[in-house]
Chains A and B, each alone.
Chain A
Amino acid sequence: MRLRAQDRERIKQIAREVFGPGTRVFLLGSRVDPHRKGGDVDLYVIPAVRENLFDRKLTFLARLKRQLGDRKIDVVLAEDPARPIEQVALQEGIEL
Chain B
Amino acid sequence: MKALAQAKARFEAYVREMERHLQRLRYAWTQLGGPRPLTEQAVSALLAQPSQVALLDQIVYRFAKMQDALGRMFRWWLYLKGEPVESMSMIDMVNQAARLGLPIDEETWFKLRALRKVLAHEYEEEPASIAQMLSQIAVAQETLVQLFEAMKRDRGVSAP
Residues of B within 8 A of A63 (CB): 107, 110
Residue of B90, B110, B133 with most chain A CB atoms under a 10 A cut-off = B110
Interface SS of B by simple majority: helix
A54-B113 contact in complex given A63-B107, A70-B90, C-beta closer than 8 Å: no
- Tell me if B118 is interfacial: C-beta within 8 Å of chain A: yes
Chain B interface, number of residues (Cβ within 8 angstroms)? 16
Q: Does A52 contact B (CB under 8 A)?
A: yes
In the bound complex, CA of A55 to CA of B136 (Å) = 7
Whether the Cβ atoms of B132 and A54 lie closer than 8 Å is yes
Known: A52-B132, A53-B132, A70-B90. A58 touches B115 (CB 8 A): yes
Enumerate B105-145 residues with CB–CB distance to A below 8 Å.
Answer: 106-108, 110-111, 113-115, 117-118, 129, 132-133, 135-136
Do B114 and A62 touch (CB < 8 A)? yes
Q: Report yes or no: A58 in contact with B107, Cβ–Cβ below 8 A.
A: no
How many angstroms from the CA of A53 to the CA of B129 in the assembled complex? Answer: 9
Q: Which residues of chain B are within 8 angstroms of A65 by Cβ–Cβ distance?
A: 110, 113-114
Q: Is A31's beta carbon under 8 Å from chain B?
A: no
Let me know if A41 is at the binding interface, CB within 8 A.
no
Which DSSP category, helix, strand, loop or mixed, fits chain A's interface? helix
In the docked arrangement, what's the CA distance between A67 and B85, Å? 23
Chain A contacts for B113, CB-based, 8 A: 62, 65
CA distance A55 to B107 in the complex (A): 13
| Chain B residues closer than 8 Å to A52, beta-carbon distance | 132
Within 8 A of B (CB), among A55-85: 55, 57-59, 61-63, 65-66, 70
Closest to A70 in B: B90
Specify which chain A residues have a CB less than 8 angstroms from the CB of B115 in the assembled complex: 58
CB distance from A13 to the nearest CB of B (A): 16
Closest residue of A by beta carbon distance from B107: A62
A-B contact pairs, 29 of them (CB 8 A): A53-B132, A54-B129, A54-B132, A54-B135, A54-B136, A55-B132, A55-B135, A55-B136, A57-B114, A58-B111, A58-B114, A58-B115, A58-B118, A58-B136, A59-B111, A61-B110, A61-B111, A61-B114, A61-B117, A62-B108, A62-B110, A62-B111, A62-B113, A63-B107, A65-B113, A65-B114, A66-B106, A66-B107, A66-B110
Binding site for B on A (CB under 8 A): 52-55, 57-59, 61-63, 65-66, 70
Closest 6 CB pairs of A and B: A62-B110, A54-B132, A61-B114, A62-B111, A58-B114, A65-B110
